[in-house]
Amino acid sequence: MRILVVEDEERIADFVNRGLGSAGYEVELAQDGQTALEKIHAVDYDLVILDLMLPDMDGLAVLEKARNRKVSPPVLILSAKGEVDDRVTGLEKGADDYLVKPFAFVELLARVRALIRRGQPSVEKLVIGDLTLDCIRRKVSRGGDSIDLAPKEFSILEYLMRNRGRPLSRTMIVEHVWDMEYDGLTNIVDVYIRHLRSKIDDKYPTKLIHTVRGIGYMLDTTAKTVEPGER
């Protein structure tokens, strides 16, 4: 994963460079807009972290020019200009996210990870056994029978399928599917799993959704769990 950091302030460039480097990213630096554009045109970066106040040009101009390329990397604006207007302008001009200085490194890292993840080509179809989930058309079928799922049921199933063989806790499922912390309301997961089972498992001899005692649920053709790192 290659990240270009466009920043003229050496102290910040160094801090970001070292932090992202130790998080496993390959980092390149550009101290001005012109160098940044040359690099963006020459290399396919997975992410560009862009300061707005550069010595030779406005970071927004870099953003606009970078966006004229056919394939342009996601851009995270990093700037001391915390005004709402600047944020809006940055996002309108095509930035993917905006972080105001000063910032905590963990915050930057979380956003970097999210942006890079978003940029990954996502798998269009998930297939486990005879169960198929089409992520684009949002259709599910098993053994050739098409199955109607409610939106939350679909999201839970997709999450389970993407993590095939890994037990997922109720809390993880709630936080992923409802996008919020739902402590104490994790029973709702059991309710949805019951609905899902009645639609995708009950009629079929091979059960795909397994209850993992003390943890939550897992989807696979067998009930054997996979430890993280095993695949």
Stretch that binds Ca ion, among 47-55, 68-76, 109-117, 209-217 (CB under 5 A): 47-55
To Ca ion, the closest distance from the beta carbon of 44 in angstroms equals: 25
Q: Is 51 in the site for Ca ion (CB under 5 A)?
A: yes
Stretch that binds Ca ion, among 52-60, 97-105, 113-121, 189-197 (CB under 5 A): 52-60
166 and 228 Cβ atoms separated by less than 8 Å: yes
To Ca ion, the closest distance from the beta carbon of 8 in angstroms equals: 5
For residue 166, give the 3-state DSSP assignment.
coil
Nearer to Ca ion, 52 or 140 (CB): 52
To Ca ion, the closest distance from the beta carbon of 149 in angstroms equals: 49
For residue 168, give the 3-state DSSP assignment.
strand
To Ca ion, the closest distance from the beta carbon of 37 in angstroms equals: 16
To Ca ion, the closest distance from the beta carbon of 80 in angstroms equals: 7
Stretch that binds Ca ion, among 53-61, 95-103, 105-113, 207-215 (CB under 5 A): 53-61
Nearer to Ca ion, 51 or 153 (CB): 51
| DSSP tally for the chain: helices H, then strands E | 8, 12
Stretch that binds Ca ion, among 49-57, 163-171, 172-180, 188-196 (CB under 5 A): 49-57
To Ca ion, the closest distance from the beta carbon of 50 in angstroms equals: 10
Stretch that binds Ca ion, among 21-29, 50-58, 108-116, 172-180 (CB under 5 A): 50-58
To Ca ion, the closest distance from the beta carbon of 52 in angstroms equals: 7
Interaction with Ca ion in 166-225: which residues (CB under 5 A)? none
Nearer to Ca ion, 8 or 130 (CB): 8
Shortest-Cβ-distance residue relative to Ca ion: 53
Residue 126 token pair:
């998930």
14, 18, 53, 91: which one binds Ca ion (CB under 5 A):
53
Q: Is 8 in the site for Ca ion (CB under 5 A)?
A: yes
Three-state secondary structure of the chain: CEEEEECCCHHHHHHHHHHHHHCCCEEEEECCHHHHHHHHHHCCCCEEEEECECCCCEHHHHHHHHHCCCCCCCEEEEECCCCHHHHHHHHHCCCCEEEECCCCHHHHHHHHHHHHHHHCCCCCEEEECCEEEECCCCEEEECCEEECCCHHHHHHHHHHHHCCCCCEEHHHHHHHHCCCCCCCCCHHHHHHHHHHHHHHCCCCCCCCEEEECCCEEEECCCCCCCCCCCC
CA distance 151 to 168: 19
Residues that bind Ca ion (CB under 5 A): 8, 51, 53
